[in-house]
Amino acid sequence: MAADRRIVIENCAIATVDGHDTEYASGHVVIAGNRIESLGAGPAPEGLENVARRIDASGHLVTPGLINTHHHFYQWITRGLATDHNLFNWLVALYPTWARIDEPMVRAAAQGSLAMMARGGVTTAMDHHYVFPRGSGDLSGAIIGAARDMGVRFTLARGSMDRSEKDGGLPPDFAVETLDGALAATEETVRQHHDSSFDAMTQVAVAPCSPFSVSTELLRDGAQLARRLGVRLHTHGSETVEEEKFCHELFGMGPTDYFKSTGWLGEDVWMAHCVHMNDSDIAAFARTRTGVAHCPSSNARLAAGIARVPDMLAAGVPVGLGVDGTASNESGELHTELRNALLINRLGGHKEAALNARQALRLGTHGGAQVLGRAAEIGSLEPGKLADLVLWRMDTLAHASIADPVTALVFGAAAPVTASFVNGRQIVEDGRLLTADEDAIARATRDEARRLARIAAQG
């Protein structure tokens, strides 16, 4: 068997985000095949064989690749609409357009979403896709194919909705699935695409959209399906005051108790937002190790509120970061969410003690790995883990005068990415994707956005 090809990275600051927050002011990382072989202070060990490449990373900070834990790729082609709406009015404004998506639109939107994140240091992405209009083609296949082609590690949260206009929901009838249809299609997607191996590039989770767009049966049966198949569960939870009111009116309990009653608390579950949580909700998440995808920019854009991230972390709740769909976070980047998470949480009750730079970086890396159920494989730089890592350039105008590189990364401007590796393979160089043509993707997304707008205008 041929020995693994090595890549040696030297002379860089390193934030490992391991259990002790180990950092090196100047150190090395050795990649062998798709794994991190070794790292530490000073230059790499001498006498390494099969070194294919040696990178002098002076002036750089190396961190684990960023992990996005909540997104809706299809929204890339409906950005910049309903910009002054709250969540409910925004949903009402956009559903008639979203209901018209088809496979070419979803493919282009997935490419746009993935490209934007990857060039900014995301190495693991996820897409919560829940709009499957009748006759719209193989949307899951298109999304998974886009991630595979770009070389990004990926979780598809196969979403679903079965509560349409005729049942008091928001989407048109043709844009939702039946209970049985949604469950069967989700199971088929898991069987076709989910890889449970350590090195998996593609995983699938079961992900009904939200309490107000799906039936109680779909939540309950979805949880049972995921556990039968051994995959994770994802949904939106406690995003707005209106959702809390809705749950009390319909089910006689708040969202967290409703999730509990349908089997949706557990270490195999993560939920987006979790903004409106009381102390006992947070305690229930901590007790059951239910994870949270914190989406600070989207929550601000839709005026949903400030999630209690410091309280969640203090209680032991696993928390990762999410871009959320780009119809509510037009930038579509995750490295800027490190800064936004820190700043927005300092506007809450804990003030300047809410989060520090290292906690923010942890949310975007190790925290994300935890909520995706992959903390053994990714999320920190440690020997034996998968080689998903980013070289951030810290010696340019934007950051050179800040002494501490982690402070520079989180508090400073969005840092340039000199190189990004996923599974030992470089996918970004000097801020440009090596695995896709950004300009071609930009043209395709513009064309598909215009086509969607035309079709939606016809009604």
**Chain contacts with Zn ion (rule: CB under 5 A):** 272, 324
Can you read off the two tokens belonging to residue 372?
Answer: 């995706």
CB nearer to Zn ion: give 177 or 324: 324
| Cα-to-chain-centroid distance, residue 425 | 20
CB of 140 to Zn ion, least distance (A): 17
* Cα–Cα distances in angstroms (integers) from residue 242 to residues 89, 237, 250, 297, in the given order: 11, 12, 12, 19
CB of 181 to Zn ion, least distance (A): 22
CB nearer to Zn ion: give 15 or 323: 323
Beta-strand relationship, 319-321 and 291-294: parallel
CB nearer to Zn ion: give 190 or 327: 327
Nearest to 240 by CA among 434, 387, 86: 86
d(CA 380, CA 366): 6
d(CA 110, CA 104): 10
Task: Cite the beta strand spans of 209-318 per DSSP E.
Answer: 233-237, 269-273, 291-294
d(CA 287, CA 265): 9
d(CA 307, CA 286): 15
CB nearer to Zn ion: give 311 or 324: 324
CB of 34 to Zn ion, least distance (A): 31
CB of 319 to Zn ion, least distance (A): 16
CB of 91 to Zn ion, least distance (A): 11
Strand order of the β-sheet with 153-160 is 66-67, 122-129, 153-160, 202-208, 233-237, 269-273, 291-294, 319-321
CB nearer to Zn ion: give 329 or 380: 329
CB of 390 to Zn ion, least distance (A): 25
Contacts of 12 (CB under 8 A, 6+ apart): 26, 27, 28, 29, 57, 58, 60, 61, 62, 391
CB nearer to Zn ion: give 162 or 324: 324
CB of 275 to Zn ion, least distance (A): 12
CB nearer to Zn ion: give 120 or 322: 322
